[in-house]
Amino acid sequence: DADVTQTPRNRITKTGKRIMLECSQTKGHDRMYWYRQDPGLGLRLIYYSFDVKDINKGEISDGYSVSRQAQAKFSLSLESAIPNQTALYFCATSDLRQSSYNEQFFGPGTRLTVL
Amino acid sequence: QQQVKQSPQSLIVQKGGISIINCAYENTAFDYFPWYQQFPGKGPALLIAIRPDVSEKKEGRFTISFNKSAKQFSLHIMDSQPGDSATYFCAASIMNNNDMRFGAGTRLTVKP
């Protein structure tokens, strides 16, 4: 969905490096999410945010941190990357004011490889 | 442990056939069950969703069947087309709760 953009789209890094993945949205949604996708495991929630002042841990937050710099921007950081963080990372947005189902809109993903 | 179990992992169907993907959940508090479709290189996109107060929801060729007592739900794709080839994820959550749990995914291939 072009309304949710992620940068970079691909990243190769080394063990121990700090890396930041960025997400921006033009949908005006208040909620933003970070997921990781692994083969055979589906998508797992890392962190989510209701607004700039509200950050919540998801199912697998260890080793990750996030920052909600503005309503439209939500970044994910790996302070010291390790190989098992190699995965496809997705940002998503939603807004209950616009969808009673809390439909989530996903970005195109960032493929991260940690060597 | 995975709260939503999805099967099969992969599925090959001939054009015009019926594709069926099954999911089972454990948490009886779940009250929202969406299906997401993902094409290669793209993020998942909502395909269809159901609340547990109905047993079936149909949108075009896509139908969700829901069995509350068995804690199971399934996606049926009628008249499957090559353009339906994608990975499908079931999911479950509590409405207004942001902790959505996804199944492992099913890679569907529809052969022409």
Q: Which pLDDT score, from 0 to 100, does residue B4 have?
A: 94
Other C-beta atoms closer than 10 Å to the C-beta of A79 total 12
% of chain B surpassing 70 pLDDT: 96
Looking at residue B9, the DSSP 8-state letter turns out to be: S
Banded pLDDT at B9 (limits 50, 70, 90): very high
Query: Which of B9, B49, B99 has its CB closest to that of A101?
Result: B49
Report residue A54 as tokens: 């509200």
Segment B21-76, tens digit of pLDDT: 999 999 999 989 999 999 998 999 999 999 888 999 999 999 999 999 999 999 99
Scanning B80-99 for CB atoms below 8 A from A yields 89, 93, 95-96, 98-99
Residue B47: count of CB within 10 angstroms of its CB = 18
| Region of poorest pLDDT, from A94-103, B36-45, B98-107 | A94-103
pLDDT band for position A95 (50/70/90)? confident
In sequence order, the 6+-apart residues with CB closer than 8 A to the CB of A61 are A46, A47
The CA-atom distances, in angstroms, between B65 and each of B11, B24, B85 are 18, 12, 21
Task: Round the average pLDDT of chain A to a whole number and report it.
Answer: 93
Partners of residue B24 in chain A, C-beta under 8 Å = none
Q: What is the pLDDT of residues A55-66, one digit of tens each?
A: 999 989 999 999
What pLDDT score does B37 carry?
97
Residue with tokens 């959550």: B93
Residue B96 pLDDT greater than 90, yes or no: no
Q: Where are the beta strands (DSSP E) in B2-85?
A: 4-7, 10-14, 19-25, 33-38, 45-50, 56-59, 62-67, 72-77
Q: Chain A: residue nearest B51 by CA? A: A101
**Backbone conformation region of residue B79, classed left if phi is above 0, alpha if psi is from -120 to 50, else beta:** left
Q: How far is it, in rounded angstroms, from Cα B78 to Cα B17?
A: 7
CB A60 within 8 A of CB A44: yes
Confidence class of residue A103 from pLDDT cuts 50, 70 and 90?
Answer: confident
pLDDT-based confidence at B100, cuts 50/70/90?
A: confident
Mean pLDDT of B89-104: 85
The answer to whether residue B102 neighbours chain A at the CB level (below 8 Å) is yes
Burial class, B72, CB count within 10 angstroms (exposed 0-12 / middle 13-18 / buried 19+): middle
Q: What is the mean pLDDT of chain B?
A: 93
pLDDT tier, A35 (very low <50, low <70, confident <90, very high otherwise)? very high
